[in-house]
Amino acid sequence: MGDEKKGPAVSRRRVLQSAAAVAGGLGLKAIGLAPSAEAQAPPATTAAPRASGGATMIGVPFEPRPVVRIGLIGHGGRGTSLLHDLLGIPGVTVNAVCDLVKERVESAQNEVEKAGQKRPQGYSSGEHDFENLVKRDDLDVVYIPTPWRWHVPMAVAAMEAGKHAFVEVPAATTIEDCWRLVETSEKTRRHCVMLENCCYGENELMVLNMVRAGLFGDLTHAEGAYLHDLRKVLYDDHEGLWRRDEHFTRNGNLYPTHGLGPVAHYLDINRGDRFERLVSLSSKEASLSATRDKLPASDPRRKDTFTCGDMNTSIIRTERGRTVLLQHDVVTPRPYSRLNHVAGTKGAFYDYPPRIFVDGSGKEEWASVKPYRKQYEHALWTRLRKLASKSGHGGMDYVMSWRLLQCVREGLVPDMDVYDAAAWSAPAPLSEESVKSGGSAVEFPDFTRGRWQEPRLVLVGEPARTAV
Kindly report the number of other CB atoms within 10 A of residue 41's CB atom. Answer: 17
pLDDT (0 to 100) of residue 33 = 35
pLDDT (0 to 100) of residue 459 = 57
Taking alpha carbons only, the member of 325, 261, 313 closest to residue 431 is 313
* Distance in angstroms (rounded) separating the CA atoms of residues 195 and 292: 32
pLDDT over 50 (residue 9): no
pLDDT over 90 (residue 456): no
Q: How far is CA 445 from CA 47, 118, 132, 425, 467, in A?
A: 4, 45, 33, 12, 22
* Distance in angstroms (rounded) separating the CA atoms of residues 71 and 183: 23
Taking alpha carbons only, the member of 17, 2, 21, 142 closest to residue 86 is 142
The alpha helices in 169-274, defined as continuous H runs, are: 175-188, 202-212, 231-234, 240-243, 246-249, 257-266
Length of the chain: 468
CB-side neighbour CA atoms (13 Å) of 133: 35
pLDDT (0 to 100) of residue 442 = 98
pLDDT (0 to 100) of residue 457 = 81
- Domain 199-381+418-453 classification at class level: alpha beta
Kindly report the number of other CB atoms within 10 A of residue 309's CB atom. Answer: 22
pLDDT band at 47 (very low <50, low <70, confident <90, very high): low
Q: How many helices and strands (H and E) does the chain possess? A: 18, 14
- How large is the average pLDDT for residues 34-47? 43
pLDDT band at 30 (very low <50, low <70, confident <90, very high): very low
| Helix or strand (DSSP H, E) at 30 | helix 28-31
| Helix or strand (DSSP H, E) at 225 | strand 219-227
Strands 219-227 and 323-329: parallel
Phi and psi torsions of 193, nearest 5°:
-110, 125
Planar angle of CA 393, 398, 404, nearest 5 degrees: 125
* Distance in angstroms (rounded) separating the CA atoms of residues 241 and 38: 19
| Angle between helices 418-425 and 257-266 in degrees, nearest 10 | 120
Distance from first CA to last CA of the chain, Å, rounded? 46
Phi-psi region of 393 (alpha: psi -120 to 50; beta: other; left: phi over 0): left
pLDDT band at 35 (very low <50, low <70, confident <90, very high): very low
pLDDT (0 to 100) of residue 392 = 87
Amino acid (one-letter) located at 351: D
Amino acid (one-letter) located at 129: D
* Distance in angstroms (rounded) separating the CA atoms of residues 134 and 127: 14
pLDDT tens across 288-308, in order? 999 999 999 999 999 999 999
DSSP three-state, residue 356: strand
Amino acid (one-letter) located at 463: P
* Distance in angstroms (rounded) separating the CA atoms of residues 60 and 54: 13
pTM for this model (two decimals):
0.89
pLDDT (0 to 100) of residue 390 = 86
What percent of the chain has a predicted confidence (pLDDT) above 70? 87
Planar angle of CA 403, 164, 181, nearest 5 degrees: 110
Amino acid (one-letter) located at 301: R
pLDDT (0 to 100) of residue 239 = 86
Per mean pLDDT, which range of 4-18, 56-70, 194-208, 440-454 is the poorest? Answer: 4-18
Domain boundaries, given as residue ranges, for the chain:
199-381+418-453
pLDDT over 80 (residue 5): no
pLDDT tens across 384-443, in order? 999 999 898 999 999 999 999 999 999 999 999 999 999 999 999 999 999 999 999 999
pLDDT over 80 (residue 39): no
β-sheet bridge partners, residue 96: 71, 121
Taking alpha carbons only, the member of 421, 319, 373, 405 closest to residue 141 is 405
Radius of gyration of the chain (CA): 22
pLDDT over 70 (residue 114): yes
Asked if the peptide bond before residue 170 counts as cis, ω within 30 degrees of 0, the response is yes
DSSP three-state, residue 279: strand
pLDDT (0 to 100) of residue 241 = 84
Per mean pLDDT, which range of 97-106, 163-172, 240-249 is the poorest? Answer: 240-249
